[in-house]
Structure 1
Amino acid sequence: MVSQQEWEQATARATDDMTRYVERFAVPLVMSEQDGFGTAWGSGTYISSGSDTWVLTAEHVISEVPAGGRLAHLPKSGGAYNAAFGRPELAKWPVDAAALPIFPDARFLPEAGKITSRIAQIYAPIEEELLFFYGFPGYRVERNDPRQSAKLNLSRFGQLDAKGKPVLSQAIAPDVQIRASNFDPIRHVAVNYPAVAPRSSDNALAPLPNAAGMSGCALWDTKFLKCALEGRPWGPEFAEICGIVWAVLDDPEVVFATKIEHVRAGLRSVF
């Protein structure tokens, strides 16, 4: 039997390990309508499929770009954002997934260590498994605060200080009712995203950010509990992408993600 203190210490370590692992692949997406200026717009993940490199994200992150606007990604740590010129692959709601191709040139490709191919075939975490996502909030406000233009993260002269937010959580219990009309329990999973959660550093409760801007980040099946039940040492390299986050709900406090098998089916030319 694991004590509460031991569980808190274990999940804190899992959060830190998953953060170090996933933040390599996670990428902020910026929308620009004017040279030198941009707006925090969404989140994505660099993935490889065959010989191609893509940014995996949510469909509405791309489709809601205004006329004349363009998305950009950050292929090199500490470098400049690069415009995404390729033709994206799109799967509209209820899948709400997309993939932006990265031009196969060293100037535009991310560093090799920033690309992952750890993508599950189907959404199949064991019951109560720890799930993880790492996104880039677009506003400097807390989870349930209104989104104010004065609090929007903006870039100046190509520089945007996009700070990622790691979240270790679990899918909601099966008996919790989701009454949102855009939620399909066959295609989607609801993951707890409360107003406050324990920090991994000291286990003190801290506010979570407004989820705007985190759309498109990958949901990871950590396989933490699976390894524990099988008596195997766990490491973040066991984790796999099992979905794409695309919406937030206030009652209950969750985010919605599309299960990876429906992402694969909707983006057949990518997978």
Structure 2
Amino acid sequence: MEIAHQDDVSPELRAWWRALCRETAEAMQDYCLPYVTPISHVISNDEGALEGTGGYLEFAGKRWLISNEHVLNDWQTRQFAHQFHGCDDVFRLAGMPTGIEKHPVDAAIWHIPDDVWNARPHQAVAVPSLRLARQHAPVAGELLFVAGFPQQRSHFYFNTLSSHATQLLAQERNPSTVSDLHANYVLVGYSTEKAQSVRPSGGAPLSEPPGMSGSLLWNTRRVECGMAGRPWSPDMAQVTGVLCRWDPQLVSVQAIRIEILRDFLARHTL
């Protein structure tokens, strides 16, 4: 497989690429949802609001919820909660974060003990440490995937916070012209105007990303496998970062590189 600019390829090759992207997006959608959770905060005894997104990881023999520092930095004055995929119950984050660091790391982790994880039936899954990439190094033109919970798709009804995930297949953008992009971050394209739904007859438009902070960023490795002539499946995808901020001027979101997060995890969990 070779990478070429879209304007330089034939209509047949463009159609093949669109079909490949659609197939990859459909395969990743159901696969990635069990690894993520909406993070909410309590407003009153019977009301809450979405704060951001988190992901479940296995690291150093324990389960963790990982998100951004700017999502969880009010933990001393707010009560935060998370929700396992396939379970309607909401679980409060008890105690204090095991690790939390401001920009340019912008990460926070919370231990999820076994009694909480096993309290109710659910389909949530924690990303094994072997599925965390060693560094952010996707091949040129690779397809990246993210699933999170934007504020535009989160509403409080009848004492229940209803959050619907947004899932997006995208590519990394060249940051060479961005003077203020910190070395800890990468740019991922996020265009609400140009995004295409895999279900055009019933798909929802792409929401603006506020609320997606803390979402796991996956390297699908679809292009990598194509270049090597190997069959691909979602099981081959690796977490390569965590979303942290929206850059509307660049029509992109920024994500923390996985090597920065690995260092953060090692310093706070080992």
Normalising by the residue count of structure 1, what TM-score does the alignment of the two structures yield? 0.86
* Misfit runs of 4+, over 6 Å: 203-206
Q: Distance in 1 between matches of 2:139 and 2:186?
A: 13
Alignment match, 1:145: none
Normalising by the residue count of structure 2, what TM-score does the alignment of the two structures yield? 0.86
SS at match of 1:198: coil
- What are the equivalent positions in structure 2 for 1:1-271 lying under 5 Å apart? 3-64=13-74, 67=77, 69-75=78-84, 77-88=86-97, 89-105=99-115, 106-108=117-119, 111=122, 114-117=125-128, 118-140=131-153, 153-154=155-156, 156-157=158-159, 159-175=160-176, 177-179=177-179, 181=180, 183-184=181-182, 186-196=183-193, 197-202=195-200, 207-268=205-266, 269-270=268-269
Shift of 1:239: 0.6
Shift of 1:265: 1.4
Shift of 1:230: 0.3
* 1:29 partner letter: I
* 2:192 partner letter: A
Shift of 1:98: 1.3
Q: Distance in 1 between matches of 2:158 and 2:210?
A: 20
Q: Distance in 1 between matches of 2:112 and 2:210?
A: 24
SS at match of 2:42: strand
Shift of 1:206: 7.0
Q: Percent identity?
A: 28
* TM-aligned CA distance change 1:110 to 1:257, over 3 Å: farther
SS at match of 1:267: helix
* 1:115 partner letter: A
* 1:154 partner letter: F
* TM-aligned CA distance change 1:10 to 1:203, over 3 Å: farther
Shift of 1:76: 5.3
Give the structure, 1 or 2, with the largest relative contact order (CA under 8 Å, sep 6 or more): 1
SS at match of 1:139: helix
Q: Deviations over 1:221-241 (max 9, x none)?
A: 110100000000111111111
Alignment match, 2:9: none
Contact 2:49-2:155 at 8 Å conserved across structures: yes
Shift of 1:18: 0.8
Q: Deviations over 1:200-226 (max 9, x none)?
A: 124999742121111000111110100
Deviates more, 1:120-129 or 1:103-112: 103-112
SS at match of 1:13: helix
Q: Distance in 2 between matches of 1:109 and 1:205?
A: 31
* TM-aligned CA distance change 1:129 to 1:72, over 3 Å: same
Q: Deviations over 1:139-165 (max 9, x none)?
A: 25xxxxxxxxxxx633542x2221000
Q: Distance in 2 between matches of 1:246 and 1:31?
A: 18
Q: Deviations over 1:65-96 (max 9, x none)?
A: 572x2110112523210100042111211011
Contact 2:174-2:187 at 8 Å conserved across structures: no
SS at match of 2:173: coil
Q: Distance in 2 between matches of 1:50 and 1:247?
A: 28
Shift of 1:194: 0.8
Gaps of 5+ in 1: 141-151
Aligned residues: 254
Q: Distance in 2 between matches of 1:5 and 1:223?
A: 20
Contact 2:37-2:83 at 8 Å conserved across structures: yes
Alignment match, 2:8: none
What is the alpha-carbon root mean square deviation over aligned residues? 2.4
